[in-house]
Structure 1
Amino acid sequence: MDAAFDLLGRSANARQFIAMTTVGDWTLLIEPNGCLGVSEEKALPASAGTRWVSHFVDINGLDSFLWAEDTAKRLMFEPGLPDHRCGTTPDELLDAMHHSGFQFWDETSDTAESLATEAAFALAEHLTGVRVTPELLRDTTFVCGSTEIG
């Protein structure tokens, strides 16, 4: 494979669309078709001096949740598999995770995976105080741009 192209056949210096807005004390960043926000390589340095909470899910159901603070990965896991957590404080939010709706091995049901995205948004709200709603997304003005991903 040519080093100038990634696995999707994009140029190594392809650009990723992003949209940002301020909600309270937080910046809400949306990547409609990307995963920079949960990439440890990008997100951990961006958390320097602040906190970073992100959730990613793709069309195939691959998902990731990241909570970082001052470049430290506090918690990272796949919302569909909350039993497999890593980070410097992987168990600090267990009560909040249960309250948010994550289902662990001993309580898994047929709906566990379908509820994982809702639970991830609820956990992000717990950490940030920001509730992402259809109205927020529809009625908010976003600053849009792109960033190089190569």
Structure 2
Amino acid sequence: MTLRPLDVSWLCDEYAGECYSFIYVRAAPEQVIARLGGQWEHFTPGPFPGAPDEYPRPGDPLGVTAIGDWTFVFDSYWLVIDEDLIAELSQGTRLVSQAALSLKGLDYFYWCEDGEIRFCHGADVNDPTGTPDELVETMAEIDRLYPSFPDLYKGPAFLLVEHLTGIRLTEELLKGCTFLWGAIPGT
């Protein structure tokens, strides 16, 4: 796969003071919601937030949508850094997650396969494996595209997501999806 830089200015500029947390799970939305402890029937349809002021805040519902064979979860709880939770969500499948609070320069990235963390990067996470063989070429391509290797949330994380999921995440893609919004216990 030849990677092309991705314009993430819609997250890094307009939403610069906000945080985001994205989880991609190769499973049906109903399965992901159930694994998170939510109830499918309590989720209601709605759009992706159109502006930073509409982003969910802690305690607000999370959003779930299907993108191909994947479920995309948008949450404000930073579930993506709960290693036990993402390992559990990845049982029997693949999970990729990313989160950023660009105002503080914090970003996190995880790739899990069948309950095992294969790769992680973040301000306060331990990298259990280094760079797996499956990502060596991709990381070299990212180094070529971003020679100064900026923070992951400024582009590299999205290229890792694209490599691992096949999803090229854009503002247009997200704003074109219908999300289901609802609460899960414990958040």
TM-score for both structures, normalised by structure 1 = 0.72
| Inter-CA distance 61–17: structure 2 relative to 1 (3 Å threshold) | farther
| Inter-CA distance 73–102: structure 2 relative to 1 (3 Å threshold) | farther
Which residue in 2 is equivalent to 1:94? 136
Which residue in 2 is equivalent to 1:6? none
How far is 1:114 from its partner?
4.9
- CA deviations on 1:1-55 (whole Å, 9 max, x unpaired) are xxxxxxxxxxxxx845311111111111111x22102320211111111100001
Q: Secondary structure at the match of 2:132?
A: coil
Equivalent pairs counted in the alignment come to 127
| Inter-CA distance 118–99: structure 2 relative to 1 (3 Å threshold) | same
| Inter-CA distance 17–96: structure 2 relative to 1 (3 Å threshold) | same
Structure 2 runs not aligned, ≥5 long = 1-57
- CA deviations on 1:72-113 (whole Å, 9 max, x unpaired) are 0100113x8xxx972347332121122134899xx6x3xx33
How far is 1:133 from its partner?
0.6
Q: 1:60 aligns with which of 91, 94, 104?
A: 104
Q: Secondary structure at the match of 1:147?
A: coil
**What is the root-mean-square deviation in Å for CA atoms of aligned residues?**
2.8
**Aligned equivalents of 1:102 and 1:62: distance in 2?**
23
**Aligned equivalents of 1:101 and 1:116: distance in 2?**
15
CA contact (8 A) 1:46 1:71 kept: yes
More strand by share: 1
TM-score for both structures, normalised by structure 2 = 0.59
Letter in 2 for 1:23: I
Q: Secondary structure at the match of 1:49?
A: coil
Task: Choose between structure 1 and 2 for higher RCO, CA contacts under 8 A separated by at least 6 residues.
Answer: 2
| Inter-CA distance 55–115: structure 2 relative to 1 (3 Å threshold) | closer
